[in-house]
Structure 1
């Protein structure tokens, strides 16, 4: 292609950026990026500077002719961008800690992508993503936005429901982890081709079939996981509890580890409350890991992504984003697991929903895999419930109305009392008010 290939990463000071760059370096022979721009906000400038210096060393060591830039001016950075990746955290990790602590203080699960914590992360994030999209539409309308900011499902739903922007794809590392697990437990060779029938919503996906070199091996996989001879795939930020054999055999689906929050709600809450009463929440662990990572990143001798990054919980997010960009740029027509509208291909859910499923990716973006036309009825009730929560959450992010927040909270299966929902809404709106300008009126009303 003649056009310069320019990637802009918003949230460039993230600890994940070295993995993103490693992915670009590894693929440089087919994804020849001329410029990588790392963009952040003033609060993230110190981290951005550290990441920028590490990226310069990585590029020099790799010997690829890629230029890396850093900027606090998003609009200037977006000029002539081919792809924009978003990996931002509004309010940084301190806001995540509030998302976890405040629900736990009321006796509810505290988690950054579902329940009350997930809702408020969405309320802070969606308006910022909308601002980025407005800039992209004005400055580089041909660019694709590849989002791996959580809650990815809620953000994707909001973009397609409340804007007219169509070049937006949500990416998650959970399906990548599941795919790596499957390759491992089925003892696949590197040259073996793996295709997965995956469906659901972000952080609520199920695998219904697994194809190795065109042959289904799902029954073998299911037998191994259900019987416990193959340990189920989990991620660093979720306690590793096995699903019961009876449930797995009854479902005849392989659920992702985030389903623990719904299927083992009692056990997950007990674990989190135990940690909370000892003074700890996951965000503190992440802050400690991140501090250690940035101490490593400062080392002028370091010129590669350190192994320690995989402890961060979102390992392979960035690699997934590189693969999606590669598939679009080179019109690869290959299988990926992303968040996009299904445009009516799934016959038993509303046509305008955004879902996470197996798609074929190429120059025109993501198209649902032709093999998948139906979501399994056994889990449809839960999928409808969480999609109702996501739709209500995206509406609240747009409106800034307290009643919309209350509706979203009460639709979540992780909140069990309308009175508690009101207390949670008040406490979290006040705690996050710096990052929720649309809710200034609702927050002011609390003081009257």
Structure 2
């Protein structure tokens, strides 16, 4: 079995140690000869990558480790680029969340104005990685889980149409893990799902066991009263108070289309005022993450690097990220794994725009994903998705054309923004906050 060379783009990310631990835990499924760390922030990467080097030395000393800020060194001789970059870091995420809240609008990193602001920063960063990969390792695949995935996926479709990039999201995985727990199954892999939508904007239409028995009635009965809430004492990473609230809120989202099961993020579009009301405008999710996960990961990484040992470490394997190994294996070994991916619609949803980037089950092999046809979708979901796709396409057009007008239109069209005047005021303030990151808009 071939041993692979991987570059983690976003080597200074707080998620990197969990992903490295997950890769090391799956070496029997995906053998690795080399792991490279690449970031454009050397100081931040040093903290994380130095600790990861100790982890790798202890668990798999035969793996070669490279840490670099040089694109040629990073992207030469790699089979997979695993990308999770955050252009502007958590400081800019804080702006994405707090600026909309000043206008009574949802402050969230992937939905509404915050998502558009983040998207305008992310597009250039992800395209840069694609270009490095194509220059130095043209046969490699990029597994991209940089947010906001919907806008990034539309940008790569439009601006790098031939790139070998797969855009993926772990939120459906997290939800399916909760569904498996509700059903008393050992793993979400015991379920066969049908799903359609956009990233952070979709619905499960069928869930069966491997024998084809319908599991939806049991799930719906639970969701109707509890959302996706379960006993969270051992449910994994997405379980702090804000996530627990999110999972409970699903019951209200479910009530709108009770023949399907919804993605959690739909709450931001259906009940935006509820989200604004319960959010502290001075201490948002970005602050929680900076004071929580970021502080914890950086403290642990420094300790591991200083001691040159992981003894007593509280860093955890990112179990959710095992889907990245499934995806890499599907491409490397042509496994035909069935996975939810963000792909060009092209008829997968028959009554929907062909060029829309939709999230549907795909069969994945060495040539990439083959989407499974989901047929026609109902008017309610179709109307919502058409509006949201228009938002995403306008953001990418605004980026590509440097168009202030199109970004104003995108903000006005979002279900989270009340009117065009608020959209313009928001845009002007976001533009000022992002002047070091966005292209010039005219």
Could you state the TM-score of these two structures normalised by the residue count of structure 1? 0.89
| CA–CA separation in structure 1 for the residues paired with 2:128 and 2:43 | 23
Is residue 391 from structure 1 mapped to residue 393 from structure 2 by the alignment? yes
Of 198, 201, 204 in structure 1, the residue corresponding to residue 198 of structure 2 is 201
| CA–CA separation in structure 2 for the residues paired with 1:306 and 1:393 | 42
* 1:430-441 mapped onto 2 (5 Å cutoff): 430-436=432-438, 438-439=439-440
Partner of 1:339: 342
Partner of 1:271: 278
Partner of 1:299: 303
| CA–CA separation in structure 1 for the residues paired with 2:84 and 2:186 | 33
Q: Is the 8 A contact 2:254 2:261 kept in 1?
A: no
Q: Is the 8 A contact 1:16 1:309 kept in 2?
A: no
Q: Secondary structure in 2 aligned to 1:216?
A: coil
Of 346, 351, 354 in structure 2, the residue corresponding to residue 348 of structure 1 is 351
| CA–CA separation in structure 2 for the residues paired with 1:185 and 1:379 | 25
Is residue 137 from structure 1 mapped to residue 134 from structure 2 by the alignment? yes
| CA–CA separation in structure 2 for the residues paired with 1:282 and 1:186 | 30
* Gap regions ≥5 residues in structure 1: 443-448
Q: Secondary structure in 2 aligned to 1:22?
A: helix
| CA–CA separation in structure 1 for the residues paired with 2:19 and 2:368 | 20
* 1:303-382 mapped onto 2 (5 Å cutoff): 303=310, 316=319, 318-370=321-373, 372-382=374-384
- Per the alignment, do residues 412 and 13 of structure 1 end up closer, same or farther by CA in structure 2, a change over 3 Å counting? same
| CA–CA separation in structure 2 for the residues paired with 1:308 and 1:285 | 18
| CA–CA separation in structure 2 for the residues paired with 1:427 and 1:421 | 10
Q: Is the 8 A contact 2:177 2:187 kept in 1?
A: no
Partner of 1:446: none
Q: 1:253: how far off?
A: 1.0
Partner of 2:225: 227
Q: 1:216: how far off?
A: 1.8
Partner of 1:401: 403
| CA–CA separation in structure 2 for the residues paired with 1:84 and 1:267 | 39
Q: 1:303: how far off?
A: 2.8
| CA–CA separation in structure 2 for the residues paired with 1:249 and 1:400 | 38
RMSD of equivalent CA atoms? 2.4
Q: 1:191: how far off?
A: 10
| CA–CA separation in structure 2 for the residues paired with 1:24 and 1:9 | 11
* Gap regions ≥5 residues in structure 2: 233-237
Partner of 2:235: none
Q: Is the 8 A contact 1:22 1:305 kept in 2?
A: no
Q: Is the 8 A contact 2:351 2:376 kept in 1?
A: yes
- Per the alignment, do residues 36 and 229 of structure 1 end up closer, same or farther by CA in structure 2, a change over 3 Å counting? closer
Of 174, 177, 192 in structure 1, the residue corresponding to residue 174 of structure 2 is 177
Is residue 55 from structure 1 mapped to residue 52 from structure 2 by the alignment? yes
Aligned pairs, how many?
A: 428
> Larger deviation: 191-200 or 156-165?
191-200
